[in-house]
Structure 1
Amino acid sequence: MFTIGAHLSINKGFENIGLEALSIGANTFQFFPRSPRGGKAKALDFDDIEKFNSLVSGSDIDVVLAHAPYVINLASKSEKTRCNAFEIFEDDLDRLSYLPDNLYNFHPGSHVGQGVDVGIELISEALNRLISEDQSTVVLLETMAGKGTEIGRSFEELRSIIDKVELDDKVGVCLDTCHVFDAGYDIKDDLDGVLDEFDSVVGLDRLRAVHLNDSMFGLGSHKDRHEKIGCGLLGLDAIVDIINHRCLRDLPFYLETPNDVDGYREEISLLRGLYVD
């Protein structure tokens, strides 16, 4: 089954976001549990959550993906910033415990001049305090474009974090097609080679989701600018190869393209027509 969705707003509640996803042809979705700029999240509406869980059990909606705020940085040199990131992360994991099995994706962080090794140590230390044996949520490290001092620009950096996490069965990877292309991995002309490298360094069993985005700039640019499907330097042919690749086709795909809901509906329809059953 082709599992595809888009990033939708949770402001109207879980049941409504589920209904909106179904209305645009999606069978999954991504959302921010709180503002992407961080801050306090709204109080949970348990009646809404119960209705959403009922909707999921009676529909084709598959595993949903929550995205941590962009601003959190577990690798910061500032203890205050790290503590704030930890508190948000911890609260989000607690909130997600009320939903069916799900995924929680986050940008690993930026070492802001401390060095990659220090940043990796800080991230893994935080994950060891945050992740518990009884949680159903799988935490995903996102592949990054390598802008500034971002950690996660290489498969080796992601592997180094995972290796230091004690409950590593609760940790996976989300491959962002724009980011990984911008980081210098040629998924346009050497998709097989890139996936072979990922498998040898990280392991394809760790890959749990794909952010499906075209790239405004391109290979090795380290720019991190998403583009609509087929409108960027990655291109539609490469996107079609990605969604149909034997190692990726059964994963959930999440659009983060610069679109409104109608734009997502069009992209989902386009991609469903290009997915080979």
Structure 2
Amino acid sequence: MLNIGCHLSVSKGFENMGKEALSIDANTFQFFTRNPRGGKAKQLDQNDIDKFLKLAKENNFAQLLAHAPYTLNACAADESKREFAVNTFIDDLKRLELTPNNLYNFHPGSHVKQGVDVGIKYITDMLNQALTKEQTTTVLLETMAGKGTEVGRSFEELKAIIDGVEIDEKLGVCLDTCHVFDAGYDIVNNLDGVLEKFDNIIGLDRLKAIHLNDSLNSCGSHKDRHAKIGEGQIGLDAIVRIINHDALKNLPFLLETPNELDGYAKEIELLKSKYIW
């Protein structure tokens, strides 16, 4: 089965997100834990969550992917922003235990000209404060395109973060197809080579989810501009190879393409027709 979904709005509630996913033939979805451009979190409704958990079990949902807000920058130069990141991270992990055994994805952050090594140190500091042995959520570092002073533009940078974390068994990676392509990893012409490099540096056992996006820009552009499936520089053929690759095909795939719900439905239908069981 192709485990595929898209980004949905948590403001509608978990049960409604589950129903929306089913309406477009999806069996997973991604949602922001709180306002993506701010920090305010929606109050959770246990009754709503219980209804969703029942719905998800009945329909064999794959793992969900919660996404931290864009405002969370663990390696900001401003100490108050780093404090916000730690507090938000800890609170999100606590809230996610109401929907246990799922995934929490975050952008490693931007070091704001402090240097990559400083950025990595701040990120590992946050993770060491936030992660617990008791949590059921797996935290995912997202691969980044490398625009500006982003940390996580290379597999080596992600590995350096993982190496600095004490409870590293709670860590994984979310590979964003647009981001890695824009970062210079040629998943169009050398997918096997890219995955081999990932395995050698990080380990494919750490790869837990895929953000499935086409890219408006060319390989190595460091731009991070998502495109609809088959309408960008990655192209449909390469994306079909990704969803059918033996090392990837059982992972959850989350669409972040510039679409409304009907557009996601069409992309899911297209990709399911190309998926080899």
Specify if TM > 0.5. Answer: yes
Gaps of 5+ in 2: none
Equivalent runs, 1:7-26 vs 2, <5 Å: 7-26=7-26
Task: Say if 2:248 is the partner of 1:258.
Answer: no
Return the TM-score normalized by structure 2: 0.99
The AA in structure 1 aligned to 2:93 is: L
Gaps of 5+ in 1: none
Q: Deviations over 1:50-98 (max 9, x none)?
A: 1111111211211100000112100011100101111111111111000
**Runs of 4+ residues over 2 Å off in structure 1:** none
The AA in structure 2 aligned to 1:137 is: T
Task: Say if 2:256 is the partner of 1:267.
Answer: no
Equivalent runs, 1:87-98 vs 2, <5 Å: 87-98=87-98
In 1, are the aligned partners of 2:39 and 2:71 still within 8 Å (CA)?
no
Q: Deviations over 1:176-229 (max 9, x none)?
A: 000000000000000000000000000000000000000001200000000000
**How many correspondences in the alignment?**
277
**CA distance in structure 2 between the aligned counterparts of 1:9 and 1:123, rounded to whole angstroms:** 27
In 2, are the aligned partners of 1:53 and 1:100 still within 8 Å (CA)?
no
What is the CA distance between 1:100 and its match in structure 2?
3.0
Q: Deviations over 1:240-272 (max 9, x none)?
A: 000001111111100000000000000000000
In 2, are the aligned partners of 1:214 and 1:232 still within 8 Å (CA)?
yes
Q: Over aligned residues, Cα RMSD in angstroms?
A: 0.7
SS of the residue corresponding to residue 173 of structure 2 reads strand
Show the counterpart of 2:52.
52
**CA distance in structure 1 between the aligned counterparts of 2:52 and 2:144, rounded to whole angstroms:** 31
Equivalent runs, 1:218-233 vs 2, <5 Å: 218-233=218-233
SS of the residue corresponding to residue 11 of structure 2 reads coil
Q: Deviations over 1:94-148 (max 9, x none)?
A: 1100003100000000110110001001000110010000000000000000000
**CA distance in structure 2 between the aligned counterparts of 1:128 and 1:38, rounded to whole angstroms:** 24
Equivalent runs, 1:114-193 vs 2, <5 Å: 114-193=114-193
**CA distance in structure 1 between the aligned counterparts of 2:122 and 2:153, rounded to whole angstroms:** 17
Provide the identity percentage. 64
The AA in structure 2 aligned to 1:110 is: S
In 2, are the aligned partners of 1:8 and 1:31 still within 8 Å (CA)?
yes
